[in-house]
Structure 1
Amino acid sequence: MPSPEALLEFLRDNPEAIGTREIARAFGLGSSDQPALRAMLRAVTRSGELVRGGDRRFAAGAALPEMMAVERAGSDADGFPLVRPVAWPGPGEAPLFRLVESAAGDELPESARALARLIRRESGETEAEPVRRLDTPESRIVGVFRRTRGGGEVIPADRRDKSEYGVLGHDAVGLPDGELVVAEELPSRRFGGKRARIVERLGPADAPGSISRLTIAAFDIPSEFPREALAEAAAAQSVDLTGRADLRDLALVTIDGEDARDFDDAVWAEADADPENRGGWHIVVAIADVGHYVRPGSALDREAVHRGNSVYFPDRVVPMLPEALSNDLCSLKPGDVQAARDGSGGTVVPITPERLDALYGAFAVLDRARRARGALELDLTEHRVVLDGERRPIAVVPRHRLDSHRLIEEFMILANVAAAEELESRHQPCMYRVHDAPDPEKLAALRDFLDELGIPGLALAKGQVIRPALFNRVLEKARDTQEAPIVNELVLRSQAQAVYSPNNIGHFGLALPRYAHFTSPIRRYADLVVHRALTAPAGRPPLAGEAIASTADHISMTERRAAAAERAAMDRYRATLLSDAIGTIYQARITGVAPFGFFISLPESGADGLVPVSTLPSDYYDHDPRKHRLVGRRSGRQFALGDAVTVRLAEADPMGGRLLFRLEGESFAKPRFTGLRRGRGPRRRG
């Protein structure tokens, strides 16, 4: 049996693609050696050094260097960590290597990068041994620079980091007080405080756009596109509509908010004229054909999977794709002719009353179907930041959820289900969007709280199957009561987190047996994966096995990172606006209880803050985690989840997005849900 090196040398000396039999003949291998040879060929192909054609013939691919920059990319089916090259010069998808433990035994976290030594095993498998980290988040500080007599210091934006990092005079030259910076921690001296070196300046802390710049840096969100990706986007041309179905006679419309930045879907509907489908509707959902422009293995594709998704802030978007694609060629803008993923070219036109009636008629049918299957119906208030002409925040207001939003949501769900069903019918691997049933411990905690409120909707029999309709009954009982917001919030907290996976377990919240993301390929890599699978030749999926599993892990992580960054930015906007309102009194509601105090929320802006236990009326307070409350030992005073309280704003930290409140006067909760506790009399505290 040849070594992997000898096999590659032979193929490079013979540039024409060669089949397995020819390779076996060249090395004098018999039929009994064929299984081992095929296993080696598969292993070397996975490393990217071999390219296999559709005719099952092999050719030499890109040679692997001894050292390579790699990034963590999930785990394989056996739980071994995987990495992929940061930059891959070869054709097709970047290969995945198993990560072997370094001599130092350091673990490489998800999406972290390292310089690795590539080790080729006798089997043909290539493994990566990390030599040193290329990004060291633990030594990276994002914060604000403050001038001092000896130079300056960096105050971290991360509220968990209480340190102050000194900056020596020569490193602080030219840095004004109040500059947002990225710094790198320097090795500590035996005596003295922590030190740091400035590596990037982000602009003044009070400048327009500073909040989003700070948040992007704090979460290490990729914001600059590689030169190769920008060049590919700039060279992209409009699609030739030859061979595509022409849907320009359809009055496709988009329904988006006034602050929408990209348009990747358009819809159309009409009543079905088929007498056998009386009351039915014909719906078309046209999705931008992003896969035409972003080819597997291209620089655009490598950067798109690295980012995983677009990230949205009140004043900007960090797109998954360059703006030449996301805002132009791939965006379904009114009046433009664009290629869509239903295989067509169509024109997006303004909406008219007749078109609106048809859309709402179709929506009514889908809405009834949603209710019939019992999808989870949470009523949660979202907020948006209002900016002035200079992009400075002037208010945070509730974002109103209209029927038009629900209409588009139901159309998109329908298209997503259709994509998942189509891939299943073809026996193609699918990037599912899965949502597991709630964790039993979280359900038990929710049941205890609801019982305190007199809502016995979660009295589950042992072995009872949990369905979303169970939660809907609870939400319906709480509707139109003052505790409805906290009940909705706690039901949400009890749910599992939706993720991407090649293994289908259904979508609990939507009450669907199969579901995928298909309708937003401009801003989500998962949708692009599904697009490619739908257009791939039979038996040749673009992603399968370890590759699709590791991609699912990675884009689930980038989605969580984006959500956390967007929440952090909102907290900073709220704290910025409230920094001028120190001393103001607010009516609030307790949304969380901990041993060190309780958290409150202001209903109008959605701002959250802490009331420290040290500021409560003099007493020793015990934390009752099961009933979510603090109880004074001497006085018996209680502060429980859902209670209404009056608070005074004491501190606002715009950079950290942190608010501190103090209880105002003798503020205690009023009895809750007394109207629901029929026959039980008023509930006594304690």
Structure 2
Amino acid sequence: MEIREDMIFEALHKLNKPLKAREIAKFLGIPPESRELLREKLKEMAKEGKVVKLKGAKYALPEKLNLMVGKLCVYRNGFGFVDPLNGGKGIFVPGRNMAGAMNGDIVAVQIVKETKDGKKEGKIVSVVERAVRKVVGRVEKFKKHAFVVPEDKRVRYDVVLTSEDFDKVEDGDYVVAEIVSYPSETRSPVGKVVENLGKEGPKLDIELIIRKYDLPVEFPPEVLEEADRIPIEVKEEDLKGRVDLREQLTFTIDGETARDFDDAVAIEKLPDGNYKLFVHIADVTHYVKPGSALDREAYSRGTSVYFPDRCIPMLPERLSNGICSLNPAVDRLTFTCEMIINKHGNVVDYKIYESVIHSKARLTYIIAQRIIDGDEEARKKFPHVVESLSSMYELAQILYKKRHKRGSIDFDLPEPVVVLNMEGEPVDIYKADRLWSHRLIEEFMIVANETVAEFMFWADYPSVYRVHESPDREKLSEFLNFVRSLGVRTPNIKNDIQPKILQKILEQVEGKPEEKLVNYLMLRTMARAKYSPDNIGHFGLASTCYTHFTSPIRRYADLQLHRLLKMALKGEFNADNIPLWEEKLEKVCKHITERSINADEAERDVVQLKQLQYAAKHIGEVFEGIITGVNEQGLFVETVESLIPGFVHVSALKNDYYLCIPKQYCLIGERTRTIFRIGDRVLVKLVAVDIEGRKAEFEIVKKL
């Protein structure tokens, strides 16, 4: 028997009260043999926030109980926000109203207070789905009890270890504990030790972060066995039906330490002045088949994760660095997007097809830039790519200008590069250079992603899009009011905001002292990009149609898109399978978005940890810094060169009492009228570092 959502909604509306599954079954006339299907459907609807599960295994409509279902994000200070699953503003939840919920849980929250400006405070009434399964932390023993103090300060509870684990661990051990009993308002969580990582040491810190974000450490044996069966060379039979481009002058441009090469490029300048650009992407789908052990593991991981000392790959090394990687001087199977682009940067024609290439060079960004700049030594080393790189540079500038003209937003926020020694200790941190060779590859990947997305969109096939919503109107209004106070010209926004308006704001402050400030604040107004089966466009890129096609070795989104593309090109979509794919892609996109966010947070956490370890060796030194945030307690500061984040407490501002003006993003001295504002440059002295609490403390030496 088919059980549809509308049937369940009808039962809950008509009976107008919370119902158990058997009561819904009785109302709808569902026979006993189909009731398990009903329970599964109810669980699915609860996860999506369409119904809410209450105590006593009863289900209700959230709106009938003034409830909202959303994802809980807990902050280090103990409070949290619930972001509704169906969109809308977050609901503030004080620590006392958590009801045993933990960071990342899907919860039902009751609104208990609402202010005139629309801000809501809530109380969690039930946990719909648990996110935290394991906790990583340090063991503390007290008499006959042992606790795990979580590394992740967003986990508000110490985990009590079972009595059988007491003798297996020592005070100070770092462990991974699996939760066997979740917390309530009156009871701590209980866990059992599944891995003992030993005592603190220089290489343990990244291991702890890997466990904290539940990143997979090893590939299961069946995945490695499957990978071992894949040949390490392209076979003759693999070439059937492919366009043979092995004679073409194709090459890769990647980072110094990169070992997995997803993309290769080639170019021809046509007699009419147009450019023919080839973007070749590794054809991972040829080797990773749907439903295989490799595929299941890649889906579970969702993405590769990159740390300063290692990569946790989505695919085993035999594929990621071997047969799938577009290494030089070997045949490789690819998926090609071939585009004719005119002098205005418009794609006037394109083809998408399976191919085989033979890369003629492996360039780094630094070498490619030196060739572009005319460096003789670099040009002598790679003479065969000089002409192609020159044409690519011309085309990249055209594409960049076109993207800029339509309003695409480029944030100028430097990324820190962390250098570790053999023991895993940070020995240097510096800002990553952004060269034209980087931009060149960025522009080519963007235009290929847009071309593929448009093909799928206009053909109306199920697809995966990379989407980015417009900024929240309230946050945006606050931001615009602030930049006006800096003398920046901004229009009044009556309808939807256009990216061009924000881009023009960045142009007005370029090279000025407030440039960093405006970049930071604008970024904070932005929504987070995500994957979706529905194309709503990409606001940040000012693109009506965008996807991720170019990195299938390291992102499952691209791998999934390649499969859909192949189905489209082979005419395999039909009226029967399109609805099934649309339903499946809802779940796939949600999962890969979550995995992508988790990877980003883990990567940021490792960089921040290494920054603070580096800072700990420089206590007492003076740095140039920039103020990145302001609140009643003081100033958030980041050093300019090594990008170390820290805090200046108001008590350290000894020459005056300071008042916080939140809407002006500043502190003002009562007596001296000295102003400290986001974006101001300051000389700061590093006075303390708390690595565990992820904090550095500064004192202001001088305002610059």
Normalization by structure 2: what TM-score?
Answer: 0.72
Larger displacement relative to structure 2 (632-641 or 435-444): 632-641
Distance 2:476 2:458 in 1: 35
Q: Secondary structure at the match of 2:218?
A: coil
**Contact in 2 for aligned 1:71/1:113 (Cα 8 Å):** no
CA-to-partner distance for each residue in 1:116-161, whole Å, 9 max, x for gaps?
xxxxxxxxxxxxxxxx999965574322346788787644322345
Distance in 2, Cα, partners of 1:105 & 1:72: 10
Contact residue 689 and residue 697 of structure 2 kept, 8 A: no
Q: Does 1:349 align with 2:382?
A: no
Paired position in structure 2 for 1:312: 306
**Alignment counterpart, residue 334 of structure 1, candidates 320, 328, 331:** 328
Deviation, 1:482, is 2.5
Using the TM superposition, give the Cα deviation of residue 461 of structure 1 relative to its aligned residue in structure 2, in angstroms: 4.8
Letter of the 1:211 counterpart = D
Paired residue for 2:642, among 605, 608, 632? 605
Q: Tell me how far apart the structure 2 counterparts of residues 72 and 198 of structure 1 sit (CA, whole Å).
A: 33
What does residue range 170-181 of structure 1 map to in structure 2 within 5 Å? Answer: 171=165, 179-181=173-175
User: Structure 1 CA distance, aligned partners of 2:57 and 2:642?
Assistant: 48
Contact 1:141 1:182 in 2 (8 A): yes
When Rg is computed on C-alpha atoms for both structures, the one with the higher figure is 1
Which of residues 392, 397, 403 in structure 2 aligns to 1:364?
A: 397
The answer on 1:281 being equivalent to 2:317 is no
Q: Structure 2 vs 1, CA of residues 472 and 530 (structure 1 numbering), >3 Å: closer, same or farther?
A: same
What per-residue deviation string (whole Å, max 9, x for no partner) do you get for residues 336-375 of structure 1? 2110013111111115323322322332332232233231
Amino acid across the alignment from 1:289: D
- The residue correspondences of 1:493-508 to structure 2 (distance < 5 A) are 493-508=524-539
Of residues 519, 526, 532 in structure 1, which corresponds to 2:563?
532
Q: What displacement does 1:101 show?
A: 7.1
Q: Which amino acid aligns with 1:318?
A: I
Amino acid at match of 1:442: K
1:526-563 CA-partner distances (Å, limit 9, x unpaired): 11121111111432468622211121122111111111
1:592-611 superposed Cα distances (whole Å, 9 cap, x missing partner): 11233221111111111122
The C-alpha deviation readout for 1:431-478, integer Å capped at 9, x for no partner, is 11111222221222212221232222x232533x53222222222221
**Quick one: structure 1 residues 112 and 571, their matched pair in 2 at CA, closer, same or farther if it must change by over 3 Å?**
closer
CA distance in 1, matches of 2:551, 2:41: 26
For the residue of structure 1 that corresponds to 2:360, the secondary structure is coil
> Residue 265 of structure 1: which of 263, 266, 273 is its match?
263
Offset from partner CA, 1:72-100 (integer Å, 9 cap, x none)? 99x7xxx76369xxxxxxxxxxxxx9997
Between stretches 554-563 and 164-173, larger displacement belongs to: 164-173
Q: How far apart, in 2, do the equivalents of 1:72 and 1:478 lie?
A: 53
Instruction: Find out whether 1:487 has 2:485 as its counterpart.
Output: no
| Distance change >3 Å, CA 323–CA 98, structure 1 → 2 | farther
Cα displacement (A) at 1:508? 1.6
Let me know the Cα RMSD of the aligned residues: 3.9
Report if aligned partners of 1:265, 1:288 keep a CA contact under 8 Å in 2: yes
How far is the alpha carbon of 1:420 from its aligned partner?
1.1
**Cα offsets for 1:544-585 (capped at 9, x unmatched):** 222111211221111111111111111101011111222323
CA distance in 1, matches of 2:56, 2:329: 60
Query: What is the SS of the residue equivalent to 1:255?
Result: strand
**Residue type of the alignment partner of 1:81:** K
Supply the distance in 2 between the matched residues of 1:300 and 1:613 (Cα, whole angstroms). Answer: 54
Give per-residue Cα distances to partners, 1:19-39, cap 9 Å, x unaligned: xxxxxxxxxxxxxxxxxxxxx
Answering whether residue 692 of structure 2 is matched by residue 651 of structure 1, we say no
1:298 corresponds to which of 276, 292, 295: 292
Q: Alpha-carbon deviation of 1:255?
A: 0.3
Work out whether residues 304 and 320 of structure 1, in 8 Å CA contact, stay in contact via their aligned partners in 2: yes
1:552 to 576, 585, 589: 589
CA distance in structure 2 between the aligned counterparts of 1:192 and 1:549, rounded to whole angstroms? 37
Cα distance in 1 between the residues matched to 2:188 and 2:470: 48
How has the CA–CA distance of structure 1 residues 66 and 262 changed in structure 2, closer, same or farther, with 3 Å as cutoff?
Answer: farther
552, 569, 591: which is aligned to 1:521? 552
What is the CA–CA distance in structure 2 between the aligned matches of 1:172 and 1:314, rounded to whole Å?
Answer: 35
Correspondence 1:375 to 2:375: no
Q: Give me the whole-angstrom Cα distance separating, in 2, the residues matched to 1:485 and 1:134.
A: 41
After TM superposition, the structure 1 = structure 2 runs for residues 117-196 of structure 1, keeping only pairs within 5 Å, are 140-145=134-139, 154-160=148-154, 171=165, 179-184=173-178
8 Å CA contact 2:46–2:128 kept in 1: the answer is: no
Contact 1:140–1:185 (CA<8 Å) still a contact in 2? Answer: yes
CA distance, structure 1, for counterparts of residue 461 and residue 531 of structure 2: 16
Query: CA, structure 1 residues 616+166, in 2 after alignment: closer, same or farther (shift >3 Å)?
Result: farther
Contact persistence 2:470–2:497 (CA under 8 A): yes
Structure 2 residue aligned with 1:476: 507
Q: Quick one: distance in 2 between partners of 1:426 and 1:193?
A: 54
Distance 2:323 2:35 in 1: 37
1:201 is the counterpart of 2:196:
yes
Percent identity, aligned pairs only?
Answer: 38
**Is 1:397–1:604's contact at 8 Å kept on the other side of the alignment?**
yes
TM-score normalized with structure 1 length: 0.73
User: Which residues in structure 2 correspond to 1:612-623 (within 5 Å)?
Assistant: 612-617=649-654, 621-623=658-660
C-alpha spacing 1:495/1:174, structure 2 compared with 1 (3 Å)? same
Q: Output one character per residue of 1:149-193: Cα deviation in whole Å (capped at 9) or x when no partner.
A: 878764432234576667799746575775432235687999999
Are 1:589 and 1:645, in contact at CA under 8 Å, matched by a contact in 2?
Answer: yes
Q: Is the 8 A contact 2:412 2:519 kept in 1?
A: yes
The equivalent residue for 1:119 is none
Provide closer, same or farther for how the CA distance between residues 653 and 172 of structure 1 changes in structure 2, counting only shifts above 3 A: farther
Distance 1:483 1:207, change over 3 A: same
> Is the partner of 2:445 in helix, strand or coil?
helix
CA contact (8 A) 2:202 2:424 kept: no
- Which structure shows the higher helix fraction? 2
- Residues 216 and 565, structure 1, Cα contact 8 Å, conserved in 2: yes
Tell me whether 1:81 sits opposite 2:40 in the alignment: no
Whether the aligned pair in 2 keeps the contact of 1:144 and 1:205 (CA below 8 Å) is no
Does structure 2 conserve the Cα–Cα contact (< 8 Å) formed by 1:211 and 1:573?
no
Q: Which structure 2 residue ranges, 5 or more long, are not aligned? A: 4-32, 60-68, 72-84, 86-102, 107-125, 337-353, 362-381
3-state SS of paired residue (1:510): coil
Name the SS for the 1:438 alignment partner: coil
1:583 and 1:468 mapped to 2: Cα distance? 43
8 Å contact 1:72–1:113 — kept in the other structure?
no
Q: Equivalent of 2:244, from 215, 238, 246?
A: 246
1:462 has 2:494 as partner: yes
Distance apart, 1:407 and its partner CA: 0.6
Mapped contact 1:311–1:566 kept (Cα < 8 A)? yes
C-alpha change, 1:437 and 1:165, in structure 2 (3 Å) is closer
Instruction: Give 2:459's aligned amino acid.
Output: R
Q: Secondary structure at the match of 1:366?
A: helix
1:448 aligns with one of 470, 481, 485: 481
The 5 A counterparts of 1:393-432 are 393-432=426-465
Task: Tell me how far apart the structure 1 counterparts of residues 301 and 582 of structure 2 sit (CA, whole Å).
Answer: 21
The CA deviation at 1:206 is: 2.1
Closer, same or farther: CA 596–158 of 1 in aligned 2, 3 Å: farther
In 1, are the aligned partners of 2:624 and 2:639 still within 8 Å (CA)? yes
| Aligned residue type for 1:253 | F
Distance in structure 2 (CA, Å) of the matches to 1:544 and 1:316:
35
Q: Structure 1's 64 and 226: CA in aligned 2 closer, same or farther, altered over 3 A? A: farther
Q: Distance in 2 between matches of 1:525 and 1:636?
A: 54
Amino acid across the alignment from 1:345: V
Unaligned 5+ runs, structure 1: 6-62, 84-96, 115-131, 671-686
Aligned residue number for residue 509 of structure 1: 540
User: Which segment is superposed worse, 174-183 or 635-644?
Assistant: 174-183
The secondary structure found in structure 2 opposite 1:370 is helix
1:127 matched residue in structure 2: none
CA gap 1:227/1:185 in 2 versus in 1, 3 angstroms:
closer
Q: Take 1:105 and 1:66, find their aligned partners in 2: how far apart are those partners?
A: 15
